């Protein structure tokens, strides 16, 4: 256990030094950390795993992250919408950010509770939060004058 904790500390230190070497990356990470639910690790991961973030449309960002709902329709049949594709590592990071945001971000928590009140499954509500977070991150990096609601 001590060996793993030491490796985690070394990796986090390496990530911090790589980000600190570039003023552009520092600015992006600091901008993303303004959202409650996005920490240093999440912001660094999003910047590293999705360098296109900030230059995409909202639907493109959600699809690239793998959290855009795609329909399974054929003819008269209307199936459920599911997420698939995209970058699985980004999806994993967004899942943890959505869990934190569902508890600590007042705006995203209200959305989460509203979806649950409408009878949606908890995983589906978390997936909706994941999509909101990636869209919000894209907006924050795309528009420097974008101000978060509090």
Whether 130 is in a domain gets the answer yes
- Residues 107-134, mean pLDDT to the nearest whole number: 95
Q: What is the pLDDT of residue 62?
A: 92
Whether 29 is in a domain gets the answer yes
Q: What is the pLDDT of residue 148?
A: 81
- If one counts the domains in the chain, the total is 1
Percent of the chain with pLDDT over 70: 98
**Which stretches of 21-149 are DSSP H helices?**
23-32, 40-49, 58-65, 88-104, 106-117, 122-142
Please state, in angstroms and rounded to a whole number, the distance separating the CA atoms of residues 32 and 135: 11
Q: How many residues does the chain have?
A: 150
* Residue pLDDT, tens place only, 11-27: 989 988 998 999 999 99
Whether 75 is in a domain gets the answer no
Residue 110: domain span: 2-69+82-142
Whether 74 is in a domain gets the answer no
pLDDT band for 150, please (50, 70, 90 cuts). Answer: low
Whether 93 is in a domain gets the answer yes
Whether 38 is in a domain gets the answer yes
Whether 23 is in a domain gets the answer yes
Q: What is the pLDDT of residue 98?
A: 95
The pLDDT mean for the chain works out to: 90
Whether 149 is in a domain gets the answer no
Give the containing element (helix H, strand E) for 20: helix 2-20
């Amino acid at each position: 256990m001590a060996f793993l904790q030491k490796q985690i500390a070394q990796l986090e230190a390496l990530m911090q030094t790589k980000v600190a070497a570039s003023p552009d990356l520092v600015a992006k990470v600091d901008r993303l950390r303004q959202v409650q639910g996005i920490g240093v690790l999440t912001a660094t991961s999003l910047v590293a795993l999705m360098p296109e973030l900030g230059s995409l449309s909202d639907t493109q960002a959600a699809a690239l992250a793998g959290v855009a709902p795609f329909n399974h329709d054929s003819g008269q049949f209307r199936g459920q919408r599911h997420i698939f594709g995209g970058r699985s590592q980004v999806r994993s990071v967004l899942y943890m950010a959505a869990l934190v945001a569902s508890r600590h971000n007042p705006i995203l928590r209200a959305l989460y509770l509203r979806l649950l009140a409408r009878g949606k499954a908890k995983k589906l509500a978390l997936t909706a939060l994941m999509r909101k977070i990636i869209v919000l991150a894209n907006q924050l990096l795309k528009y420097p004058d974008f101000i978060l609601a509090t």
